[in-house]
Chains A and B, each alone.
Chain A
């Protein structure tokens, strides 16, 4: 059993709805045609590549290859997180890498070994897509966390320094910023956990059902994955901020201005 294959022509047929979109854009003076085309082309190219190398990974199903693939994904995620947080990749890559790697490996293997109980923990069919989902979500939460932490302190540097002089402890002075940035990072996931199923069916479930799973199985997987996403986000965001402190602040606990990618 499995989903019916789609022909290239059927995919092309989806372009039909771009005609009214472009028409309306022109009439209302919304000049986003270029951006739309650019995004569509990128999506198609990127997903085609994923299709090719996933087939490749699944065919060989080699633990080493799967691991290397995930490590590369983590490295790309780091790069993207730091860039979006307006932080210098060169300075913060290593702490960021480990803050993703540690919770990610832990939760992924727990998912595979204890929850799904597969014999081969490196089974591409589980490791690659589940890993991808976890990373994709960490991306968002780490960006929000790091961004609000460092921009918050930068904006209120005088207040931070004054707290430091009164409290004499970096961690105490940083606490309000740690708290608020962490909340900002985690809240969207909690909100989506609380409304999941009411409004939208998650992509993973849709995929599984189309792939031939019965809905109950798909839902169990979805619950397991929501737990895993939440835990990975929670720990990776926390570690991302904590691991970055050594680079982010100097020996005298003052914010290092040179960690920011651009001045604004």
Chain B
């Protein structure tokens, strides 16, 4: 599914990756561990085509990340960024726009309300502006989008960082129960203690 071989990437004279190899099979759940600044977020940016590598090759479903394939690739990947950098609008309008753009049909409120319930979000949140949300609410809205889009590959950057312990466990179990290919970066123990994940340690 995802194949990176001998990847080098330098940014501003600093080595981020040198000779990086990573293979993620279909429906495999890979947890990447390592100290901060080691390029975990950069890895996601490379896969999404936001950063370009200096050497090596990266393929997703056998396709290189280039002009001809980038749209296809982005349609396969869901990226949960650390800050969930959503543009400012009401949450409801934003979810609606994202859903219609992806699925070419209107968002059903029953499905949305059910997901809001799963993540313990009040439906009144849909009327609020994105910038009024707390960190934990943003993160959960990001996960609601993840489930709504239902893309085959999930790139999750600290998906449970701003949640309380009970929620962390519940959400990690829910996510890992999905038939999806995943790369997860997280410092929370709930991920590495789950038998479904394959741990990849970066030093």
Contacts and interface: CB of A to CB of B under 8 A. Distances in A.
Are A and B a genuine interacting pair, yes or no?
Answer: yes
A168 interface: yes
A156 interface: yes
A159 B75 contact: no
Interface stretch (A23-31, A80-88, A203-211, A251-259): A251-259
A158 interface: yes
Contacts of A251: 66-67, 70
Task: Determine the main DSSP class of A at the interface with B.
Answer: helix
B112 to A, nearest CB: 16
B77 interface: yes
A176 B97 CA distance: 12
B81 A162 contact: yes
A190 interface: no
A254 B46 CA distance: 12
B71 A168 contact: yes
B49 A166 contact: no
B23 to A, nearest CB: 22
A172 B71 CA distance: 12
Contacts of B74: 164-165, 168
Contacts of B145: 166
Interface string B118-148: 0000000000000000000000000001000
A175 to B, nearest CB: 10
A156 B87 contact: yes
Contact of A162 (B65, B71, B86, B97): B86
A252 B102 contact: no
B52 to A, nearest CB: 7
Nearest to A177: B87
B70 to A, nearest CB: 5
A252 B149 contact: no
A167 interface: yes
Contacts of A159: 85-87
Interface string B142-184: 0001000100000000000000000000000000000000000
Interface string A147-190: 00000000010110111111111001000100000000000000
Interface in B63-90: 65-67, 70-71, 74-75, 77-79, 81, 83-87
B156 to A, nearest CB: 13
A162 B45 CA distance: 10
Given A156-B87, A159-B86, A159-B87, 8 more contacts: A158-B85, A162-B84, A163-B87, A166-B101, A167-B97, A169-B71, A252-B50, A252-B67
14 contacts: A158-B83, A161-B50, A162-B81, A162-B84, A162-B86, A163-B87, A164-B74, A165-B79, A168-B71, A169-B101, A172-B101, A251-B70, A252-B50, A254-B49
